């Protein structure tokens, strides 16, 4: 690949593979790195959870891999540079006014030292292929408005704003 300056962009190969329980400690490190990033750019919404709590969450996600969900890691130069997961959403009930479109929701984490090097793009493409093979017609995700780099990547990959979430803080009772 040639950059806009005409130089050759040499990037190491990225291997995407399913995670296993043996990856748990490294996955926690990846999650913590991403949590620190999110808590820094949007502290109103994000915080850095305790390692033990993350372990419970990620163990469940690893054990949930299968027909309705996948969890993968990006390996570059022998190091886990990121991870991503996707889950098929349940269709709305027949009485729901929402159109039934096969949908999957995904999330991506890329370690700060590896950001901007194609890791997120490779993870997302892998998840899209996984979902498409299962009949998914729509991919969705949640992203903080403060996460400019991620938003730029999602737009480059063809994602657009969809629906709108609204927030109201309630006083403690």
* Residue at 51 is within a domain: yes
Count Cβ atoms within 10 A of the Cβ of residue 26 and give its class: 0-12 exposed, 13-18 middle, 19 or more buried.
middle
CATH number at residue 76: 3.40.630.30
* Residue at 143 is within a domain: yes
> Once rounded to an integer, what is the mean pLDDT over residues 57-66?
95
Write down the pLDDT at residue 6. Answer: 66
Residue 3 confidence (pLDDT) above 60: no
Residue 34 φ then ψ, to 5°: -70, -35
Residue 63 confidence (pLDDT) above 60: yes
Cα–Cα distance measured from residue 147 to residue 156, given in angstroms and rounded to the nearest whole number: 14
Cα–Cα distance measured from residue 43 to residue 39, given in angstroms and rounded to the nearest whole number: 5
* Residue at 164 is within a domain: no
Cβ density class 27-56: b for 16+ within 10 Å, e for less: bbebbbbbbebbeebeeeebebbeeeebbe
pLDDT tens for residues 35-55?
Answer: 999 999 999 989 999 999 999
* Residue at 120 is within a domain: yes
Cα–Cα distance measured from residue 146 to residue 15, given in angstroms and rounded to the nearest whole number: 29
Give the three-state DSSP class for 166.
coil
Residues of the chain with pLDDT > 70, as a percent, come to: 94
Residue 5 confidence (pLDDT) above 70: no
Q: To the nearest whole number, what is the mean pLDDT of the chain?
A: 93
Q: Count of domains in the chain?
A: 1
8 pLDDT band, cuts 50/70/90, is low
* Residue at 4 is within a domain: no
**Top-confidence residue, 43 or 4:** 43
Read off the tokens for 20: 């296993």
* Residue at 168 is within a domain: no
* Residue at 7 is within a domain: no
Which spans in 2-147 are helix H? 24-41, 51-63, 119-132
Q: Domain range spanning residue 126?
A: 14-156
Separation in Å, CA 71 to CA 20, 33, 66, 91: 9, 17, 9, 21
* Residue at 79 is within a domain: yes
Cα–Cα distance measured from residue 54 to residue 60, given in angstroms and rounded to the nearest whole number: 10
Count Cβ atoms within 10 A of the Cβ of residue 69 and give its class: 0-12 exposed, 13-18 middle, 19 or more buried.
middle
CA dihedral 26, 30, 31, 37 (to 10 degrees): 160
Q: Residue 74: beta bridge partners?
A: 16, 82
Residue 122 confidence (pLDDT) above 90: yes
């Amino acid at each position: 690949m040639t950059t806009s300056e005409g130089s050759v962009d040499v990037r190491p190969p990225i291997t995407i593979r399913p995670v296993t329980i043996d990856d748990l400690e490294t996955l926690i490190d990846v999650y913590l790195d991403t949590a620190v990033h999110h808590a820094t750019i949007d502290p109103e919404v994000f915080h850095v959870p305790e390692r033990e709590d993350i372990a419970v969450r990620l163990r469940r996600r690893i054990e949930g891999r299968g027909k309705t969900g996948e969890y993968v890691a990006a390996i570059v130069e022998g190091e886990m540079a990121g991870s991503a997961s996707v889950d098929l959403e349940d269709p709305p009930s027949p009485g729901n006014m929402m159109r039934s479109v096969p949908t999957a929701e995904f999330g991506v984490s890329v370690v700060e030292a590896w950001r901007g090097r194609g890791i997120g793009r490779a993870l997302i493409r892998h998840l899209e292929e996984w979902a498409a093979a299962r009949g998914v017609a729509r991919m969705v995700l949640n992203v903080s408005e403060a996460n400019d780099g991620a938003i730029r990547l999602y737009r480059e990959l063809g994602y657009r704003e969809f629906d709108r979430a609204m927030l109201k803080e309630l006083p403690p009772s």
